[in-house]
A and B are shown apart, each in its own frame.
Chain A
Amino acid sequence: MKVVKTAAIAATLSLTAALSLGAQASTLQDVQARGELNCVVTTGVAGFAAPDENGRWEGFDVDLCRAVAAAVLGDAEKVKFIPTSAKTRFTILNSGEGDILFRNTTETMSRDVDLKLTFLPVNYYDGQGFLIRKELGITSAKDLDGASICIQTGTTTELNLADFFRTTGISYEPVAVETNEEGITNYSANRCDAYTTDASALASIRAALEDPSAHIILPEIISKEPLGGAVRQGDDQWADIGKWVVNAMINAEELGVTQANVAKLASKAGNNPSINRLLGTESNMGEMVGLDNAWAVRVIAAIGNYGESFDRHIGPNTPIGLSRGLNALWKDGGILYAAPIR
């Protein structure tokens, strides 16, 4: 009878396993029960998300993962990073393996509607550029006729590239690979004349090349790449949490709340109601979204505000050296404009 028993057990087990896969609990509860946030990031783009020499993940995108963990779990360190290629990121998010995605991902209509994602507010306004060798003496992307161009598959940039060359009526050879690393190998070996992707990522790639000064990023930007985080569609509460964590960081910069002064500002209600609402000394914004009212205090204490995170990882004083540009606050001439916390 042993065989029958084993078979019966196997059948019941697979049945329950299969059924439990179908069950849909709230992501917030899942994450809190697990005590860890599964955050989908890149396999490595220095400045945005990459392990440092000690194996600790660091970067502008990584900060957002930690910010969400700080808000939801009370500890910015309770994050498990899931490195993904451009190709696998959405499958990993949609299958439930990841809870949230911060992976220099462009918001597009088809990703939002057809891939069933919900995008969080844009955290970096970007556009697609070209990285080329200075010695080629090229100044415009329109001079790239017949060039071999390195590109990563599964990206919006791959589609923009096809559109750009089609509309300008010039030819090129796409050299498409799956990971950024293989793309850089190809570019360094001169397999391609140019590497194309989001200009921000190009800055990061350029900084990592053997001699960055031998390469330039063409001033021409051929697309709009609003980069933002994303969650699975269908869990509004979870999407709200992601959305307001990002907004809180931007609002904090606008209100002058920094990592250094947040503890003091949060100790008691002050004169500025906007700061009070952000830091939970007034109203109960945190509770509305299923957290506690000190949620944003923890985020800012652990990560700092938007500008601090920017400067730390990709700003002018880092090897990546990006200026704020479009990503300056609206009152400083940029287009960063977060909905108010009220």
Chain B
Amino acid sequence: MNEVALPQPQRNIVSRLWNDKETRQVIIQILAFVVIFAFFFIMVRNAITNLEAIGKDISMDFLSQPSNYDISQSLIEYSSRSTHLRAMTVGIINTLLVAVFGIALATVIGFLLGVCRLSKNWIVNKLAYVYIEYVRNVPVLLHILLVHGIIVNSLPTPKNAVVVNEVAFLTNRGFFIPSPDFQPLYWVVAALFVIGVIFSLRFRKYAQKVQDQTGKHYPVFWICFGAIVGVPFIMYFLLGSPIVWEIPELKGFNYSGGLVIRPEFIALWLALSIYTAAFIGEIVRAGISAVDWGQNEAAAALGVTRGRTLSLVVIPQALRIIIPPLTSQYLNLAKNSSLAIAIGYMDIVATIGGITLNQTGREMECMAIVLTLYLIFSLLISSGMNWYNNRIKLVER
């Protein structure tokens, strides 16, 4: 073979590497990584040196010290003698509580809004539209303050409480409702409920199998309903209602006894739900619109009713489109709950990231804890949603 000597451009190794597209990308990535890493390394080192300079160390010992402050809403035993760690746990539970309830309510309102936006009824459609446009364009903090302001200013004080059935009391200090005190026999009812759930799950599978094989159709819904709700319900009365209700009573300034739902919780819960629902509404609308209209026509051609078309044909396909952006709305809701301190709801940021941080002066440690906790929440939500997404994904045969 005869080699034709091409004139080699005189270039050094660096520019040769640089001119190769793939190598160049790798180099840029390495450089970017080094710069970012160096930046964070220096920042952290700097923080530590500066803290050392004023004689502050990094230590988590404060977590085992008494917190010395009280918290208004706590689902676990807590007093000002409890540790900061315990106060943090109260905060975590409060954050989880408002996030879980918020996600549930936002989803319900959001789906309703999405369906309304697709409604052919002009008024319903436009009302949903106005709601979404208004709510989306007002910062969530304002929603929180507004809802709290409305509750606190419009509801009466305990002395003039709105009395519901002589057992529940609505006041601007909270909603006081009876709390259940479970008697031993109650656990029979609870056990029946669990058995009902297990039975229903099995029965559904069985009914499906029978239907696939023979075409015989069981009234699955009613049988399951009877097993889960009906049987325990009847048993409850047969056993002579084994729950004693503790009814709140006005004592001095406030009601005591029973359960109290604080206005701060309600305000945060409603505001986060109302706000996030507007975004979910748009996601649902987009998801349903994205399902090809031909699918409806095909179902109609097969004689499937409109209701069944929605539940068996349209929604399962729409969900595949809805779930990923829905996940990020859930994450937003959980993170927005950190605005709680504005109205004094004692969440993570208000407890460990607020009072504890302030009273102990452990900024670095407390903020690191708060960041880690939110990271964990977010990862939990996304992995849960990813699991669900995978389950409903198109199974290719």
Chain A residues within CB distance 8 Å of chain B: 1, 3-4, 7, 10-11, 14-15, 18-19, 21-22, 24, 86-87, 90-91, 94, 110-111, 114-116, 144-148, 153-154, 158-159, 161-163, 165-166, 172-178, 182, 185-186, 189-191, 193, 232-234
B189 close to chain A: CB less than 8 A = no
Instruction: Please name the residue on chain A nearest to B34 by beta carbon.
Output: A11
B207 close to chain A: CB less than 8 A = no
A154 near B256 with CB under 8 A, answer no
Knowing that A163-B68, A175-B344, A193-B253 touch, tell me 6 more A-B residue pairs with CB under 8 angstroms: A146-B252, A158-B355, A162-B69, A189-B153, A190-B157, A190-B172
A7 near B35 with CB under 8 A, answer yes
**Given that A148-B254, A153-B354 are contacting pairs, would A94 and B54 also be in contact in the complex, using a CB cutoff of 8 Å?**
yes
A11 near B359 with CB under 8 A, answer no
A1 near B18 with CB under 8 A, answer yes
B252 near A189 with CB under 8 A, answer no
B55 near A162 with CB under 8 A, answer no
Q: Which 9 A-B pairs have the closest CB atoms?
A: A162-B80, A154-B358, A115-B361, A18-B42, A177-B344, A147-B253, A189-B152, A146-B252, A116-B54
Of the listed stretches B43-51, B180-188, B219-227, chain A binds B43-51
Residues of B within 8 A of A1 (CB): 18
Residues of A within 8 A of B357 (CB): 87
Chain B residues within CB distance 8 Å of chain A: 18, 28, 31-32, 34-35, 38-39, 42-43, 46, 49-50, 53-56, 68-72, 79-81, 149, 152-153, 157, 172-173, 251-254, 256, 263-264, 341-344, 346, 350, 354-355, 357-361, 363
**Given that A22-B50, A162-B68, A176-B350 are contacting pairs, would A87 and B35 also be in contact in the complex, using a CB cutoff of 8 Å?**
no
A-B contact pairs, 29 of them (CB 8 A): A14-B39, A14-B42, A18-B39, A18-B43, A19-B42, A87-B357, A94-B54, A110-B361, A111-B361, A146-B251, A147-B253, A148-B253, A153-B354, A154-B354, A154-B358, A159-B68, A159-B69, A161-B70, A173-B254, A174-B72, A175-B264, A175-B344, A176-B72, A176-B350, A178-B341, A185-B152, A189-B153, A190-B152, A234-B54
A191 near B173 with CB under 8 A, answer yes
What is the bound-complex CA distance between A306 and B34, given in angstroms?
57
A191 near B152 with CB under 8 A, answer yes
A191 near B172 with CB under 8 A, answer yes
What is the bound-complex CA distance between A19 and B46, given in angstroms?
7
Q: How far is the CB of A254 from chain B (nearest CB, A)?
A: 35
Q: How far is the CB of B267 from chain A (nearest CB, A)?
A: 11
What is the bound-complex CA distance between A234 and B54, given in angstroms?
7
Instruction: Please name the residue on chain B nearest to A20 by beta carbon.
Output: B46
What is the bound-complex CA distance between A1 and B31, given in angstroms?
12
Give which listed residue, B38, B69, B350, contacts A14 with CB less than 8 A.
B38
Q: Which of B31, B35, B355, B361 has the largest count of A CB atoms less than 10 A from its CB?
A: B361
Instruction: Please name the residue on chain A nearest to B256 by beta carbon.
Output: A146
A3 near B28 with CB under 8 A, answer yes
Instruction: Please name the residue on chain B nearest to A166 by beta carbon.
Output: B80
What is the bound-complex CA distance between A288 and B59, given in angstroms?
39
Instruction: Please name the residue on chain A nearest to B250 by beta carbon.
Output: A146
Residues of A within 8 A of B46 (CB): 18-19, 21-22
Q: How far is the CB of B179 from chain A (nearest CB, A)?
A: 17
